[in-house]
Amino acid sequence: MAKTYDAIIIGTGQAGPSLAVRLANTGSKVAVIERKFFGGTCVNTGCIPTKTMVASAYAAHLARRAGEYGVNIGGPVTVDMRRVKARKDAVSGQSRAGVEGWLRATKNVTVYEGQAHFESAREISVGLERLTAPRIFINVGGRAVVPAMRGIDEVPYLTNSSMMAVDFLPRHLVIVGGSYVGLEFGQMFRRFGSEVTIIEMGSRLISREDEDVSATVREILEAEGVHIRLNAECIALSKRGDEIAAGVDCTNGPPTVVGSHLLLAVGRRPNTDDLGLEKAGVEMDKRGYIAVDDQLRTSVSGIWALGDCNGRGAFTHTSYNDYEIVAANLLDADSRRVSDRIQAYALYIDPPLGRCGWTDAQVIGAGRRALVGKRPMTRVARAVEKGETQGFMKIAVDADTKEILGAAILGVGGDEVIHCILDVMYSKAPYTVLQRAMHIHPTVAELVPTILGELQPLIGATTSAGSAA
């Protein structure tokens, strides 16, 4: 006999727990199923542990630069990787315990540990248990892709998950993938003291960003001694004694990179292949992402998909926003939608990249008549005072409607400063509102109004109907 609930939630990522508690607090009986670590990717193998380690790497970097600030360290700076890992484990562990404790302590929530599997559109199995509910919410997240590259089965490799167990300093960390995850680990381990090579198939790093962002990020990493190999179209892996050789088909540089450890950072795939979705009739796309509408309903009535597994976002904040959308629709008679949100995220190298809205390339592609303001961080007093002047800030606006179209803040505090732009975008106010705001001195954000007062036509964008600058 199946146990009956009002709702079943599969996965305790960034949407599931909040939705479970919200539903339970309205009196619904809720079953929550988790097969591994409470809190999912962000808490255990993603944002929280990596940003905790980024903080350790930043401390090492600043300590090495201490003399520039007139501070004597009195010897070479070394990193104790076991303590770095212990600190990371403590921060991550506290968060994991918090999620689990919250769920278990909430009245009307029953927690099941194990692999959830659809038996039908209304029935889930977990171990020997059968659960049934009229509403099922899928929050199963994703995992690292292991690409079918030549030699992959012959060499040991790490992913973002197994990196969490590293409590030693790799002699030479070779990272395949020059995007967000690869760059964060790359700079971090370089700062810990490893030699690092990032191998990227494309012609530039983080190719979704504008070229000036990619180029500056590359300069920042190379200035710290990270080796970057681009245009690596054909990567072949093999054992070389105790080490790993990555054959790199590049136009320049040696054809083989030999490292002590290999990290794969080439993308993510949804955890939908072992969920039995076919028994429920839930539609997926070619890559396994669950198809959802603008309010996160799947193709089967009574089943929703939230977080990374629906392919509509790949961040903690998009998953949490999914929870807010579903809760608003079901409980608050508020028809919130995915399409209400504005793209926003950060890349946590140091200095960080804060991004919102469109890239310049997207603005140009959309045919908007646009203006852009750009300022190097060398002309931001707060950055100069802090001795952290790498990067730049830029903001694009529509020349006709005055709406802000997008921004990139690659510089100290960029992950925070971006929000003063993002919030004005949400308010749908013209950029002139932000331009006239009085900001606090000395901050990085105080230059945002200044930049908006120095706008120039965006090169490549339409200047009038049908022509380009």
Contact positions vs ligand FAD (CB under 6 A) = 10-15, 33-37, 40-42, 46-47, 50-51, 115-116, 139-142, 160, 181, 271, 275, 307-309, 314-317, 319, 348
Nearer to ligand FAD, 34 or 398 (CB): 34
Cβ at position 33, least distance to ligand FAD in Å: 5
Nearer to ligand FAD, 50 or 359 (CB): 50
Nearer to ligand FAD, 13 or 186 (CB): 13
d(CA 421, CA 434): 8
Nearer to ligand FAD, 250 or 422 (CB): 422
Give residue number: closest CB to ligand FAD. Answer: 141
Cβ at position 221, least distance to ligand FAD in Å: 17
For residues 418 and 356, the answer to whether their CB atoms sit within 8 Å is yes
Pairing, β 129-132 against β 123-126: antiparallel
Least Cα distance to 456 among 377, 393, 378, 374 occurs for: 374
d(CA 418, CA 423): 9
Q: In Å, how far are 7, 315, 321, 344 from 425, measured between CA atoms?
A: 35, 20, 17, 11
Cβ at position 187, least distance to ligand FAD in Å: 13
How many other CB atoms are found less than 10 A from the CB of residue 39? 26
Cβ at position 309, least distance to ligand FAD in Å: 6
172 catalytic per annotation: no
Nearer to ligand FAD, 51 or 172 (CB): 51
Query: Which of 261, 317, 419, 441 does the annotation list as catalytic?
Result: 441
**DSSP assignment, residue 369?**
-
For residues 49 and 87, the answer to whether their CB atoms sit within 8 Å is no
Cβ at position 275, least distance to ligand FAD in Å: 5
**DSSP assignment, residue 231?**
-
What residue ranges in 295-414 does DSSP mark as E strands? 303-305, 344-347, 353-357, 370-376, 392-398, 404-410
Instruction: List, by residue number, the catalytic residues.
Output: 441
